[in-house]
Amino acid sequence: MTEFAHIRTHVDENIAVIELHRPDVLNALNRKMVTEIVTAMEIYDRDERVRVIVLTGSGRAFAAGADIDEMANDDSITLELFNQFAEWDRLALIKKPTIAAVHGFALGGGFELALSCDLLFAADTAEFGFPEVNIGVMPGAGGTQRLTKLIGKTKALEWLWTGERMSAKEAYELGIVNRVIAPELLYEETMRFAKKLAKQPPLSVRLIKEAVYKAVDYSLYEGMQFERKNFYLLFSSEDQKEGMAAFIEKRKPRFQGR
């Protein structure tokens, strides 16, 4: 595995764990850190040992936002030429299931990073929000888009315009968070779920993910056509043969991702 300066990584059985590691600044996301996160996710996406990727934070927070010191003196042309959010676009191309395990703060870019994952588990003490408006800017790495798709226009505008923080309970009630967990059990419960998910047939999980994300953007008819083609495609897999044989033979299937 590549050596990184701002994240720590390891594989637990077939679960890859990426830990944000700038605890002295509450894991504020600078450009190098974002590049490292995306690079690690892409490496694990290609790694046949890995079936699920978990993203978490060290210290007191998941990520308290972008590193403002790094961008305070930027101008529009600098950001355009630098292509500030190109790395973030690569997150949407990850094929394997991704789970964010959030404790402490997930604000601004930290919230955007959590929302870029497929599932979001949160400690009951976690706080979420987009405070960008309070410093004269707005989310730029997908915050306005992902939040609106999750909770609708009017609720999204309320949170984005005020810059207020929402509790884990509020985020759960809005459909942003999948599970709210006691802080001391967050990592354990996230890994328990990840290992359960890792036992599912990898190709089915991958194509289900593709179809669900198409449902967000496609019309119902277009989405159903995409779903149908993925359904047909799985009948060319060894896992489909194994899964149906195991069902008929009343035994547990042994999925290989083929």
Instruction: Single out the catalytic residue among 40, 61, 63, 66.
Output: 66
82 pairs with which residues across the strands? none
Instruction: Single out the catalytic residue among 36, 112, 127, 227.
Output: 112
- 92 an active-site residue? no
- 164 an active-site residue? no
> Which of 177, 138, 184, 142 is CA-nearest to residue 161?
138
Tokens linked to 145: 């888009």
Q: What SS3 state is found at 187?
A: helix
Q: End-to-end distance of the chain based on CA atoms, in angstroms? A: 24
Residue 74 phi, psi dihedral angles, 5° rounding: -70, 160
In which residue are the tokens 């953007």 written?
217
Instruction: Single out the catalytic residue among 57, 65, 109, 243.
Output: 109
- How many angstroms separate the CA atoms of 127 and 105, rounded? 5
- 110 an active-site residue? no
Instruction: Single out the catalytic residue among 65, 132, 142, 143.
Output: 132
- 112 an active-site residue? yes
> Which of 258, 118, 119, 117 is CA-nearest to residue 201?
258
Just list the catalytic residues. 66, 109, 112, 132
